[in-house]
Amino acid sequence: MGTWNSRGLRGSALEELINRTNEQYREKGLALIQKIPTPITPIKIDKEKRHITLAYFDQKSTVDYIGAVQGIPVCFDAKECASDTFALQNIHPHQVAFMQDFEKQGGIAFLLIYYTGRNLILYLPFRDMIRFWERAQNGGRKSFRFEEVDLSYQIEAGHGVFVPYLEAIQKDLDARD
């Protein structure tokens, strides 16, 4: 089992940009999305500085973010990828199950993937994620390549927002009709 200490601050740059974006969306009345904290059990605490120096994750978390966009339930996870190949081991079975159940209830589930080498953020619709996931479960590739994703879901900073993912959600909704 991983520890808080050993995982460092992976993904924190992307998450910080998303958190700021979510604040802007809330202030503008466009969406209410919250970061879901991962429950931890502290093991070592620096009493002088009052900092946790080592902790274990209590339980499996669902996704990083959950909320509503103009009345539509939304959940998503933020991932970073240093290469052009995204390993599906970065997505856990309980996350896939949660997102699948979320979609069955009429919500929108997706991943935001930051390809660090390309300095590019991509919205990956759940339908694409589950296709890659099922391919792996059926003995296929345990990853997907950058060339396999729909680049029309690329997210570019703009409109005074760091990670303007609302346009991608609209595109996802339009593709469902």
CA-CA-CA-CA torsion for 57, 144, 100, 137, nearest 10 degrees? -90
Q: What is the distance between the terminal CA atoms of the chain, rounded to a whole angstrom?
A: 42
- Does residue 62 have a known ligand-binding role? yes
137 assigned ligand-binding residue: no
Does residue 105 have a known ligand-binding role?
no
How far is Cα 101 from Cα 66, in angstroms, rounded to an integer?
13
Residue 53 assigned as binding residue: no
Distance CA 96, CA 99 (A): 5
| Integer Cα distance of 152 and 174 in angstroms | 13
- C-alpha torsion sign, points 12, 14, 19, 23: positive
Binding residues for Mg(2+): 62, 64, 77, 95
Binding residues: 62, 64, 77, 95
